[in-house]
Structure 1
Amino acid sequence: MEKGNKLYSIFRFKCPRCHEGELFKSKAYDLKNFQKMPKHCSHCGLRYMSEPSFFDGAMYISYAMQVALIITVFVALNILGFAELWLIITLSVSLSLLLIPITFRLSRSAYINLFVKYDPEKRSEYN
């Protein structure tokens, strides 16, 4: 993945406009701070939350990712022959809970990339 590609920004949690600044302040498994984002990109000055409740739409992406994950694990474990329903449900839910910080970040990153296009030359007054 190279800069200029939406997937680069989404999976590396970079600013969607410049692909340089970080979208999040800490590492994914810093459980006290995994959801905290800076107000602006440190490189181009893009304001991440362009309006109040901007990232509410990311909840739908996160929901879809969690459902896809649970269904995939459920089907894979059924195919592998784990016949015990309680074990399949426990493993599916446990994996889903472990991956909440990742799906949270991916959903926010994907959501902001829907609305902001790559433009490395553009700068804001926040620099």
Structure 2
Amino acid sequence: MLKKGSKLNSILTGSCPKCQKESMYSDKNPLHLTNVLKMNENCSHCGLKYQIEPSFFYGAMYVSYGLNVAVGIAAFIVSFVFFGASIEQSFIAIVITLILLFPFVLRLSRNLYINMFISYDPKAGQE
């Protein structure tokens, strides 16, 4: 499922989208909140510059919005439909879910966004 060369591998692991040999982030753990968005400048294997242009990852905000809407809807369905919670309880479940998943959604949105523009190259970094 997560074999090297697939977009899904790069998106879920946060690895370089071009060579998939190292993490794009200086700290791999998204739960270290002070470092959640700190990225390496370039990939040490293939040399890919992650910040393709100034303010490149501003576009990831739109991806993050879509992911947060999907997570919020899923939290509502689980709490309201499956657990039979009231509307107020479902709203609280949505807020708690979004707060808890915030660092993961942030990174996932950046991973998705950069993978929209850069494809895997099996020859990258093999000089």
Q: How far apart are 1:117 and its partner, in Å?
A: 1.0
Which residues in structure 2 correspond to 1:35-114 (within 5 Å)? 35-114=37-116
Q: Give the TM-score taking structure 2 as reference length.
A: 0.91
Distance in structure 2 (CA, Å) of the matches to 1:9 and 1:121: 16
Secondary structure of 1:82's counterpart equals coil
Q: Give the TM-score taking structure 1 as reference length.
A: 0.91
Distance in structure 2 (CA, Å) of the matches to 1:81 and 1:99: 20
Q: How far apart are 1:101 and its partner, in Å?
A: 0.6
Asked if residue 9 in structure 1 is aligned to residue 10 in structure 2, the reply is yes
Which blocks of at least 5 consecutive residues in structure 1 are unaligned?
A: none
User: How many equivalent residue pairs?
Assistant: 124
Which digits, 9 at most, give the CA deviation of each residue in 1:52-111, with x for residues without a partner? 010111111110010011111112211124342221111111110111110110110111
Amino acid of the residue matched to residue 31 of structure 1? L
Distance in structure 2 (CA, Å) of the matches to 1:10 and 1:114: 10
What is residue 19 of structure 2 aligned with on the other side? 18
Amino acid of the residue matched to residue 121 of structure 2? D
Q: Given that residues 21 and 44 in structure 1 are in contact (C-alpha distance below 8 angstroms), is that contact kept between their aligned partners in structure 2?
A: no
Work out the percentage of aligned pairs sharing the same amino acid. Answer: 41
Which digits, 9 at most, give the CA deviation of each residue in 1:15-57, with x for residues without a partner? 0000012111111000111110010012211000010010111
The ranges of structure 1 where at least 4 consecutive aligned residues each deviate by more than 6 angstroms after the TM superposition are: none
Q: How far apart are 1:120 and its partner, in Å?
A: 2.9
| Larger deviation, residues 73-82 vs 101-110 | 73-82
| Larger deviation, residues 68-77 vs 12-21 | 68-77
